[in-house]
Structure formats: structure tokens, C-alpha cells
Homo-oligomer: A and B are copies of this chain.
Amino acid sequence: MHTILRSNSKEVIIGIDKPFVIIGEKINPTGMKKLGQALVDGNMDYVIQLAQRQVAWGADVLDVNVGHPQIDEIAMMRIVVETVRSVVDVPLCIDSNDPQILEAGLKAAPGKPLVNSVNGEEKQMASVLPIVKDRGAAVIGLTIADEGIPPTAELRLAAAGRIIERAAKIGIPVEDIIIDPLVMTVGHDFKAALVTIKSIELIKREYGVNMSLGASNVSFGLPDRHSVNSAFLALAIQAGVTCSITDPIKLGSSIRATDLLLGKDANSMRYLKYFRATEKLRGQEAAAK
């Protein structure tokens, strides 16, 4: 199954037979004071830098989140999306819980964007899915039920099913749903990643949809988070995850290596190209400092 996203002139295809798709996570002021302040000041220089840098480091799609208590998020979403699309030619992922902010972002986004996210709560499905349908966008569906995040893989499968069915009812095709089976922190619950991997396997078998994961939550509170995050991505990709909202600078090499190991990179072309490009960037960024 292929989920197709588009920018002005480029198409990104997400699918199990395609290279893993990296959705750059860095345009998000949550926990990132410098970006928050830039947005409050209406200064787009840092946004431009984050957009260009992530694409240079291999992001295929860029997430755009403007959640910040001191700004008019509806107006700001439009401004940031217009800024980003003016400097990079990649599909965008419009990130908010608020339907009005999503609408503003979707209106300004080029081509066919992605929405991050809807979940399996009745109220949220009712408010977000029609917006996705109207815009002809794709959407990330989090396996959250009205009762919260299900503790078992079977219940996460059920939550995924509810989103897929509800979306189908209003005419959103299943290939435009990307399920996020969620991962909790293994530091808190050492079975957390196992539940996620089992959820991925069940959802893949039952629906064959594309799946996304945020890959850094899993290591929260642990030392040497990189070892945990990169191993988790490898395990998740093997199980069936096809894209991730993540940091291309930190995790790009693990992702390209996993694609290569899983036979998705003929003659190591992407792996070698990625290495050469990032080696050059690393040199340039060190020199700039």
C-alpha cells in the first residue's frame, strides 16, 4: 500500500517496498526555546534554517508545529507554512490538535500534505477527519481510544481499526491513513517496546497500512538515548513501520543502514550518497562554528 504525499513539484511515496521516509521533527517549539522565541518575535530566519538543514540532512517531509502559548497559532501556522514552502520543495506534515490550526496549515500547504494527527477518540475523529477529507490530505492516526492509550497490542489494533473505518465512512481511502501504534518509555515499563512491536505486526497483518512512529519517546529518562533510539528504529522498521517523525541529523544514518540491510537499497546507492552528503555537511557545519 502506498501513501503519496506531494509538494509543489515532488512526490514522496511511503510504502513497505520503498525506502523509509523521514519526516523532520524540528519545526516544533515544544521544548525548543530558541524556536519559540523566534515565533514570538515573528522572525522566520530560524524557521528557514531548520527547514533547509533538515532537508539537507535527508528529511523527505517536514513536520510543522507552531504550538506556543504566546502566539496566535492560526495566523502563525499559515506564516510558517508559507515560509517553509518558499525555501524547500518537500511535502509538509501539518501538526496540531486544533482543527482550526490544521485548516490554516492545510490551506497554505502545497500539493498533498499530511495531517499530524487524529486519534481514536470519537470527538477528535469527528472534528479532524472531515478537514482531512476536504483537503484531500493524508493523516496520521494515533492508536488512542476514548479510554486513553491501550495497554495491549490487540487493543491498539482495535483503535487503528476504528480510525480506518471511520475515515472510510466519509470517503478517506485507507492508503491515506498512516497509523502510529505509539511507544511508551522503556525506562518506565520494560515491556513497552515489545507491545509496540507486536502492535506493528498485528496492524500490518490486518490492514497492511503504512505506519509511523516517533522514535525518541522510547528512551526518555535513560542514558545513551541514541543507542536505544537507533536500535528501536531498526526493530520497528523490520516489523513494518514505514516512516517516522524524527531527527534526520541524529538518526538518518541508522535509518539508511536499516534500509540497506533490509534489501531496499540496490548497490548501497542511497546509503553511500547519504554518507557522502552528510560528511560534507558535517565539515561545513563545523567550519561555520
Contacts and interface: CB of A to CB of B under 8 A. Distances in A.
Interface of A: 186-187, 190-191, 193-194, 197, 218, 222-224, 227-228, 230-232, 234-235, 238-239, 253-254, 256-258, 260-263, 265-268, 271-272, 275, 279
Nearest to A228: B257
Given A190-B260, A238-B238, A254 B268 contact: no
Given A228-B260, A254-B231, A223 B272 contact: yes
Identical copies in the complex: 2
Contact of A235 (B187, B234, B279): B234
Contact of A262 (B194, B260, B262, B272): B194
A230 B230 contact: yes
Contacts of A261: 186, 193-194, 197, 218, 228, 231-232, 235
Contacts of A191: 263
Contacts of A235: 234-235, 238, 258, 261-262
Contacts of A263: 190-191, 193-194
Contacts of A218: 261
